[in-house]
Amino acid sequence: MKTDGVVQTFSGRKQSLIEDARRERGSAGGGGPAGSPGPSRYADGFVFEEKDGRVTLNVLFALSSEKNAGFFKTGKIFETFEAKLLHIESRMGRKCKNSTTDLEFFMKCEVHSSDLDVFVNSLKRVADDVRCMPEEKGKLPWFPRQIKDLDRCNMLITKFDPDMDHDHPGYNDPEYRKRRAVISELAFRYKQGDPLPVVEYTAEEISTWRQVYQQLRSIYPSLACKQFLDGLQQLEKECGYGEDRIPQLREVSAFLKERTGFQLRPVAGLLSARDFLASLAFRVFQCTQYIRHSSAPMHSPEPDCCHELLGHIPMLADKEFAQFSQEIGLASLGVSDEDIEKLSTLYWFTVEFGLCKQNGAVKAYGAGLLSSYGELVYALSNEPEYKPFAPEETAVQPYQDQTYQPVYFVSESFEDAKMKLRKYSANIKRPFTVRYDPFTCSVEVLDQPSKIQNALSQMREDLKTLHSALEKLSSS
């Protein structure tokens, strides 16, 4: 991680989203034709394909959060059987909605085929509700159809969690970790339609916010795009944005809903790439409420409320940008892991680290830039390389997670970026097209002629309304 004085680049969410998508894609090919797949093995009644004497499997199990022994014993089993962890996620147990007793874990791992049965049986001795299944091929990934389905889009990536990441500034601070757990619990308990939870921030947390707000606010006028500045000004006027108070999600969500139809949803940490992008399809932005550690106010290895509220929210108040964000989400529904990786990369070089042209100058609109003093100054200096935004190239651009980006993509305008994204999305291999219905907050899969006909009928009614409006204007 590069530092410049007290400033460090924010790369946690970018790094997480793209790497998460890449890991999912890479591990999905574990039982493919490459090499010499061996005979099948059986565990829990499933058939597993061997490759070079190993099998890739998905394991789901539950552990009691009141006892650490189960977690450590599970880790020991993975170590004993030399199981290679490819992916890990956690969430509150579904069977205990009103309790914090159980945590559910999803792990994708690779084990020796000869150890498979013993490995699974060993897990069953220390964990509850152990389920084991192979990778499915040829099946379309599940995706939410209604906004309430986002309750299921809650798989967390624990790589940057202060309880797991030894390099996290809060790892050695038990009080910070305890505070994070309290705030995270608010997100775990949230269900679609509930009032957004309110966090009573401490004096120390507000002090951290103040340092970040003051330093970034001083350079926004010269480096941020017009849409961002307009959005921030409105937020300062209507939502109490300022250095002395951390805004609450409830009031910010209401503000966005009135302007662009976007709304916020609390999240306890980093989401998997597929879940995070799927939320955007419904004009829902998953937003953290905890704040970075006070010892490193200019650095966070993961998204926090400074990144979300200062980097993302002002831009989501712009209609063109909100539409662009939603279209990335719609393009992600039901696509392959390979396409999720590409769309994740597109997201991070636009929504997170994007630049645009305005009045003959280059300005920042990416949230990763607008919430990082050091990288914002660097990105608009003469050091990095600029390339025009071209989705086919951007989607495969290597990214840098140890220092600032050597390359940034510059859009002519949000409208131009949106048109290019639509053209790119049309070429994604998917056996159907999706359409968002804002009246029911649902996604309709256009896989039958009757559904397409209904959509066209609605469009004709909208065109009639617009035609009538034009006639009245021309006759007045």
**Residues acting as catalytic residues:** 307, 312, 352, 371
Which of 181, 163, 159, 184 shows the shortest CA–CA distance to 172? Answer: 163
**Integer Cα distance of 268 and 287 in angstroms:** 8
Rounded-to-integer distance, Cα 164 and Cα 82, Å: 20
> SS3 of 321, please?
helix
Provide Rg for the chain, Cα atoms: 23
Specify the residue for token string 């409208």. Answer: 415
Q: Taking a C-beta distance cutoff of 8 angstroms, is the pair 417, 360 a contact?
A: no
82 is in an annotated binding site: no
The residue written with tokens 């919430």 in the block is 371
Q: What's the start-to-end Cα distance of the chain, in Å? A: 62
Query: Cα separation of 474 and 180, whole Å?
Result: 59
Cβ atoms of 103 and 92 within 8 Å: the answer is yes
Tell me how far apart the alpha carbons of residues 175 and 193 are, in angstroms, rounded to a whole number. 31
Q: Which of 193, 194, 95, 106 is nearest to 154 (CA)?
A: 106
| Residue 133: partners with Cβ closer than 8 Å, 6 or more residues away | 44, 46, 57, 58
> Degrees (nearest 5) of the Cα angle 410, 412, 413?
110
| Residue tagged 């609390």 (tokens) | 266
299 carries a ligand binding annotation: no
Q: Is 168 annotated as a binding residue?
A: no
What single string gives the DSSP state of each residue in 208-245? HHHHHHHHHHTTHHHHB-HHHHHHHHHHHHHS--BTTB
In this structure, what token pair is assigned to residue 328? 């990335």
Q: Look up residue 149 and give its DSSP letter.
A: G
Query: Tokens in use for 265?
Result: 């949803």
Q: Which of 290, 420, 445, 299 is nearest to 354 (CA)?
A: 420
Binding site listing: 307, 312, 352
Binding site listing for Fe cation: 307, 312, 352
